[in-house]
Amino acid sequence: MILWLLAVAAGVAASVWLNGRHWPRDAHRRTLVVLRALAVTLLVALALDAPLGARARPRPLVALDASASWRQGGAARFADAAKRAGDASGEALLFGDSLRAGAAPSLPGDGDSRVGPVVDRAAALGRPVTIITDGQVEDPDALEGLPTGSAVEVFPAPVAADVAVRSLELPAAAAPGDSIELRALVVSAGATVSAVTMAARLADGTMLATAALGTLEPWSEREWRVRVRVPERRDAQTVRVIAGAAGDAERRNDTLSTVLDVHGAPSAVFVSTAPDQDSRFALELFRGALKIGVRGFVLVAPGQWREDGSLARVDEAVVRDALARAGVALLHGDTALFGAPRALTRGALALIVPPREDDWEYFTERAGASPLAPSFSGVPWDSLPPISVGPSPLGTSWGALSARRARRFDDRVVVAGYDEPRRVVVLPVRGLWRWKFRGGRPADAYAAVWGGVLDWLVQGDVDERAARAATPWLREGEPVTWRRGAGRDTTVEVRLRRDGATDEQRVTLRFSAAGGTATSPPLPAGIWRASVGGGVSAFAVNPSAEWVPRRPISSRAAVAGPSSAGAPSSLRTGWWWYALVLVLLSAEWWMRRSIGLR
């Protein structure tokens, strides 16, 4: 209303300026005053985009969850939800693994339940939305951004006993006879599940481990952690982790499969000739960060080598052989004990060379330009505990982190590396364990240093295959991520075949010149073999994560009150208002000319 008052005032002022404050007695001049006032009023109203009419209520949206989780406990709930969505007035949308318009399907099958795109669409349009779902959404926090007047209607699944394997951690590769750790996360649904049992076995039925987890309360989770011995078979082995319980209502989420690549050489080897806190923490992170088998050896006395974990005594020849065949090797202490480390190893190499004396305290200052820079960004290097740093290595390709004695003198390199002929990282440092021990930001800095080092080393691991799956297992509906191998080709042809099937799929991967990963469309559940130049790799595709129970959200009758009024239409939305201004100005000009005025 204020905009129109301003426009009318401008029109009156224009007519007064043209004819003075006295109303003209001549009919023609009075018409000129009216035409000028109307034309100026419309021009100003168009410039201010004055509204037309009252604000109208925006048309609401109706979003129906089309994810496969509706099928837990039967599909009858989805039919009721689809009918409710059809009865609601508004623009119909479907959401799950994507947001799109369309009618409700006869059977929901989306492999995800993301409500965030719905909230973003409604907020961008300023329109309320009614979300109809089974409540098992992946991103419930996104609902906090719903526009006013929106509602969430939940059709929950019937309460039933259900136990499922949500995730699995196992090295992607190991050597025959290795002892590796298996971690599985088990979750329950809305009812108490008693006498839960766990089993890990190979595809041929060979049992690796069993355990009894006891009782799981409703909507609880428990981790099963066990060490298993790698079978004496050099091949890609399918490992299945199975959760069982009496009265389990849903069997499609009880098993999670992965692929363990068993080959003759250890994938990664850690050797310490002077075990201390640095070596202990480094080996712990080494094992946790790498998704491949790691063997550790420590020198406890002159000539006495022990294998980390079991503390079994091993000959020095075993340690030498493991280092010679490792794809990634980390040496701590006297790195020249076996001779030149580069001559002994074949793959990526990390050397931790502690200084002989801790006579000065060095404080890290800044991170330099290096391949580790993405991992180092955002770390407060100037607020970390002091460390001891030895002389900087010579001839390195880059220095990732530097430190100064007493923050003032003797600038030294903490992390340096060589790019050619293979990837080598040198850390002439002692005392990094203090960062890990301190916790908080120092612990984050410790993880950033070792995470960046290990990521860069693993990318340089020797793999003759042109490409391989980045993870040994994934779920239906998830795109397959691939990692480029030894080849430098940006385009790789992959032939995919599922175990038990005769047909073959062909996928073309396109890697960027700088990036080492590419993606391909999702695949149905099963064990898949990928044939590329240089060899064959395998990975497991498990049933969709929609079968894994999640605590449902609750219904919301209304969110933040009634819906907001929509934006009214304005003058600028109609072309005829511009035409009317031209007509008024033209009419005024014609009348002025007809009575002899300019």
Average pLDDT over residues 278-284: 85
For residue 529, name the pLDDT band (cuts at 50, 70, 90): very high
What is the distance between the alpha carbons of residues 127 and 60, in angstroms, rounded to a whole number? 6
Q: Which two tokens stand for residue 79?
A: 């039919």
Phi-psi label, residue 500: left if phi above 0, alpha if psi -120 to 50, beta otherwise: left
pLDDT at 562 over 90: no
| 249 Cβ contact list (under 8 Å, min separation 6) | 73, 160, 161, 162, 189
Find the helix or strand (DSSP H, E) in which 482 lies.
Answer: strand 480-484
What is this structure's pTM? 0.64
Give Cβ neighbours of residue 438 (< 8 Å, ≥ 6 apart): 385
pLDDT tens for each residue of 42-66: 787 777 777 776 555 678 899 999 9
C-alpha 175: how far from its chain's center?
30
Give the model's pLDDT for residue 488.
Answer: 65
- Per-residue pLDDT band for 290 (boundaries 50, 70, 90) equals low
> Following DSSP, what letter does each residue of 338-383 receive, concatenated?
TS-HHHH--SEEEEE---S---S-EEEEEE-SSTTHHHHTT--GGG
CB-CB neighbours of 380 under 10 Å: 11
Q: Is the pLDDT of residue 264 over 70?
A: no
Q: What is the pLDDT of residue 359?
A: 65
Q: How confident is the model at residue 499 (pLDDT cuts 50, 70, 90)?
A: very high
Listed range (216-230, 260-274, 382-396) with the worst mean pLDDT: 260-274
